[in-house]
Amino acid sequence: MRTFDASPVPSTPSVADRPGVHRKKLKLTKSFAAMGLPPSILAAVRAAGYETPTAIQTSLVPLAIKGHDLVGQAQTGSGKTASFALPILAQLQGDWAAVQDNARSQKLPRALIMVPTRELATQVAAEINKLGQGQKVRCIAVYGGVNIRTQQRQLQEGCQVVVATPGRVLDLHSRDSIDLSRLEVVVLDEADRMLDIGFRPAIERILRKCPPERQTLMLSATVPEEILRLAQLYMRQPKLICLPKSEQDNRTIDQYYFSVEGENKYDLLVAVLEREQPPQSIVFCRTKLGTERLFRRLEKARVYDGLATLHGDMSQAARERVMQRFRAGEIRLLIATDVVGRGIDVSTVSHIINFDVPSLAEDYVHRVGRTGRMGREGVAYTFVSRDQGSDLTAIEYQINQLLKRDHIPGISIEPHERTIESEAEAAENEAATPTPSRYRRW
């Protein structure tokens, strides 16, 4: 078994307090130029409009370029994709002796990035192709739910980077269509999500098929024990990069909740849309059926232009069409399940409305991460019914922050209808370090 080595910054108590975990202060590189990236990559970074590296890029890129195995705690919207894409591109520019032995091996993938969803696969591949511009890098996305033959053909034509969902990698491997023997870098993106949705066995099978001397990078919004165990098993002396809370989140998102009776949620949604006139928003529901129902009702009522829905019962082609129109700004209100809750990068989303509280508090972070991207302002509203006080508390624990209460008279529940905190507690409520559970008395 490989040993677990270092933890630079103590922001996650369960991780930093681990016996034997070595803490050290990170020396941060504040510009892309100082990171040791080749000139062609620096040119692509400039062309992408990135002027200053984000916190995760600053800490991860230099160590990854040196070849370390790393576990980086980073959420979507933090610039995490570039944090692993740039070292991979630098590696592809480097000495290619290992793969120059014959023409066939030059076509084999040298980097594999595993992601939890098809949408994220497409998006990560697009970012790599953007940052790889002018460098003769071919990156393809492979995922389930679409015809495998096109992907087999693309792999046969050759590519240096594959972004993939784990199930499809195994499928392609069982058909001898993907060769993992030349991989130099393997990335697990949104590792916590992949474990949540049951990809662990697939990931482990894939990692066992990859060359043992490869570099492994893992990105995860949270770093629970399960992630650390995976790192211990499959990474070589991994260093853990936990950014201080202040640096993890460079977004400005105002977060509110409404207390509302279940049967008034639709009216509340219409009232919020009316009041806010959001330029572009996503409304999250828990189930596919609920999503479809809400979409139909809004469509029938003609409340809002540019309306669409996105959920797992739609064909891959239909989902892609919706995402394309959403990115292009033609769709302004998207009713969706958590299918789009993770990873999707549409920087113009101004409002997130949690019509249903997410079933996992962690999903709240990912839903809300769809807005306020790269320092833009965003706002998130969560509709909470009387029996969901504990769900709200769980969310507040997750984000270590209290949501502010909003109210629309005549629709949401009047604030005084709930047993709220005393004056003294309310003052504390405003204070810097919240302890959410104390304020939730329903």
Q: Give the residues lining the site for ligand AMP (CB under 6 A).
A: 50, 52-54, 57, 76-82, 127, 345, 347, 373-374
Give the shortest CB-340-to-ligand AMP separation in angstroms: 13
Closer CB to ligand AMP, 110 or 373, in the complex? 373
Closer CB to ligand AMP, 75 or 264, in the complex? 75
Closer CB to ligand AMP, 367 or 373, in the complex? 373
Closer CB to ligand AMP, 233 or 374, in the complex? 374
Give the shortest CB-31-to-ligand AMP separation in angstroms: 10
DSSP 297-315: HHHHHT--SSEEEE-TTS-
Give the shortest CB-220-to-ligand AMP separation in angstroms: 13
Closer CB to ligand AMP, 131 or 170, in the complex? 131
Calpha distance 208→204 (Å, rounded): 6
Give the shortest CB-190-to-ligand AMP separation in angstroms: 10
CA atoms within a 13 Å half-sphere pointing along the CA-CB vector of 18: 22
Give percent helix, percent strand, percent coil of the chain, each to the nearest 5. Answer: 45, 15, 40
In 10 A of CB 93, how many CB atoms? 17
Closer CB to ligand AMP, 178 or 188, in the complex? 188
Closer CB to ligand AMP, 5 or 189, in the complex? 189
Residue 371's nearest CA partner among 59, 77, 110, 40 is 77
Closer CB to ligand AMP, 374 or 426, in the complex? 374
Residue 35's nearest CA partner among 95, 82, 97, 99 is 82
Give the shortest CB-378-to-ligand AMP separation in angstroms: 13
Calpha distance 195→197 (Å, rounded): 5
DSSP 64-112: HHTT--EEEE--TTSSHHHHHHHHHHHHHHS--GGG-SSHHHHTS-SEE
Give the shortest CB-145-to-ligand AMP separation in angstroms: 22
Closer CB to ligand AMP, 79 or 436, in the complex? 79
In 10 A of CB 2, how many CB atoms? 14
Give the shortest CB-373-to-ligand AMP separation in angstroms: 6
Calpha distance 213→216 (Å, rounded): 9
Give the shortest CB-123-to-ligand AMP separation in angstroms: 7
Give the shortest CB-398-to-ligand AMP separation in angstroms: 19
Please give the C-alpha separations between residue 372 and each of 79, 120, 244, 333, 440, in angstroms, as whole numbers.
13, 18, 19, 16, 27
Calpha distance 392→383 (Å, rounded): 10
DSSP bridge partners of 112 = 162, 186
CA atoms within a 13 Å half-sphere pointing along the CA-CB vector of 386: 9
